[in-house]
Amino acid sequence: MAPTQPADWCERYRPASESHLIGNNGPRRRVKTWLKAWESGRPSKRGILLVGPPGIGKTTIARAIAKDRGWDVIELNASDARNAASIRKAAGEGAMHHSLFNIGKENAKTLILVDEVDHIQGGLGVMGEEKIRKMISGDDENTVSTSSGDKGGKAELIRVLTDTKNPIILACNDEMGLWGRGSNWSETRTRFEKVVEVIKMTRVRKQEMRDIARRVLQAEGLTIDPEGMDILVKNNPGDLRALIRDIQAIAVGDGSHINITSVKSHMVDGQRDQQLGSFPGLDKLYAMRSAKTAREMAVNLDQSPDDLVSWIAWNNSSLFSNPNE
C-alpha cells in the first residue's frame, strides 16, 4: 500500500532534497559548508541562526540539506520549550537519539532544529542546576512544560550551543525577538554571536514563487488563470507557505481550474495582513471593540491558534505600558 499523502499541501510538497530548493543560494551554501564541517570535527561555532520572514523555507532548507547527508533531524519548537529545563531535556533527547540510531553510521549526525527562538523571552539569568534536574525528573512542583515564564531559557540555550556534540540550527522571523527589546539586547546578541553563525535569508522572488506554484498545481492536476496567479503572488510577498495554503484553500471548491473570480473572493474573505516582520493582523486584532469581532478576526488570520496565543503574549508587554490595561 502506498503511503498516505499529507493533507497539508505545504508538507506534501516540502522539498526533501536540496536539489528541489529554489532561491537563497548564498545562505544555502553557508549552511551546507557548516554542516560539512561537522563531519570532520566540531566547528568553532556549534550553531547557526537562520533569520528571515515567515514562510520562506528556513527549516525546509535545514532539513533538506541534512537529509541529503543522511542525517536524522529532531525538530523542537521554541514556542513550546522556552525555559532552561525544557531546552536541556530536548538537547538530551537529541544526543540520545544520535547514540541509538546512528550506530555504525560513519560521520552520521543528528541535527537539532529549533524553530521560533524569537519566542524565548527573558534575559540571560540562569536557572539553578538543582531546579532544572528536579523539573526534568518530575520531582519539582513545576514540570518542564508547566513552568511559568521563560526562566533561564536563553542562558541554557547558549550553554547547550557551547557544549553540544550535535549540530544545532536555530530559526526565527525576527532576530530582535531573540536579542530582546530592553537595554541589554546588545549583550544578548554578543553572547549568542560567540556560539552561532547568523545567516540572514531573503524573501522568495516573484518568479520563484510562480515556478513553485506551477509545480504544485501540475502535481495536483490543476490549472489557473494567469491573472489569478498574479494576485496570489502579489498578496503573499515572499511567503511560500501562505501561497501554497491559498492555492489549496481555493482548489477545494474550484474543480480542476482555478479562476480569477475564486482567487479574488478568497483574498477578500481572508482579510490577512501581509506585513512581514510582525504578526499578521495583530494591530487590527487589538483594535477590535468586542470579543465577538476579535474572535472573527482571529479565525481569519493565517496563523494556528497556538501561534496566535504566543504572539499576543509576546507583544502585550510592548503594547501596554500600564500593567492595569
Residue 296 domain flag: no
Residue 232 domain flag: yes
* 91 and 180 both lie in a single domain: yes
Question: Does the CA dihedral 77-79-85-86 come out positive or negative?
Answer: negative
Amino acid making up residue 257: H
pLDDT (tens digit, 9 = 90+) per residue, 234-265? 999 889 999 999 999 998 876 789 999 999 98
Residue 165 domain flag: yes
The count of structural domains within the chain is 2
* 218 and 129 both lie in a single domain: no
Higher pLDDT pick, 81 / 29 = 29
C-alpha cell at 258: 482555478
Mean pLDDT (whole number) for 255-279: 70
Mean pLDDT (whole number) for 212-216: 94
- CATH number at 166 reads 3.40.50.300
Percent of the chain with pLDDT over 90: 37
State the pLDDT at residue 149: 47
Higher pLDDT pick, 76 / 314 = 76
* 71 and 196 both lie in a single domain: yes
CA 269 vs. chain centroid, Å, equals 26
pLDDT (tens digit, 9 = 90+) per residue, 102-134? 544 555 678 999 998 988 866 665 544 454 454
Range of the structural domain that residue 264 is part of = 206-270
270, 304, 319 — which closes off a domain?
Answer: 270
DSSP class per residue in 86-103: HHHHHHHHHHHHHHHH-T
Residue 287 domain flag: no
Q: Are 250 and 258 in contact (CB under 8 A)?
A: yes
State the pLDDT at residue 157: 85
142, 169, 200 — which closes off a domain?
Answer: 200
Angle (deg, nearest 10), helices 153-163 and 84-101:
30
Q: Which of 297, 46, 55 is nearest to 194 (CA)?
A: 46
- CATH number at 254 reads 1.10.8.60
Residue 306 domain flag: no
* 258 and 131 both lie in a single domain: no
Q: Are 55 and 201 in contact (CB under 8 A)?
A: no
* 141 and 54 both lie in a single domain: yes
pTM above 0.75, yes or no: no
For 116, 133, 308, the CA distances from 182, given in Å and listed in that order, are 19, 30, 23
* 116 and 260 both lie in a single domain: no
If pLDDT is split at 50, 70 and 90, which confidence band does 268 have? confident
Kindly report which listed range (10-19, 90-99, 190-199, 289-298) carries the lowest average pLDDT score: 90-99
State the pLDDT at residue 145: 45
* 178 and 50 both lie in a single domain: yes
pLDDT (tens digit, 9 = 90+) per residue, 64-104? 999 999 998 988 877 665 566 667 676 666 555 554 445 44
* 52 and 168 both lie in a single domain: yes
* 72 and 148 both lie in a single domain: yes
Q: Are 193 and 228 in contact (CB under 8 A)?
A: no
* 135 and 57 both lie in a single domain: yes
* 192 and 78 both lie in a single domain: yes
* 134 and 248 both lie in a single domain: no
Residue 24 scores a pLDDT above 70: yes
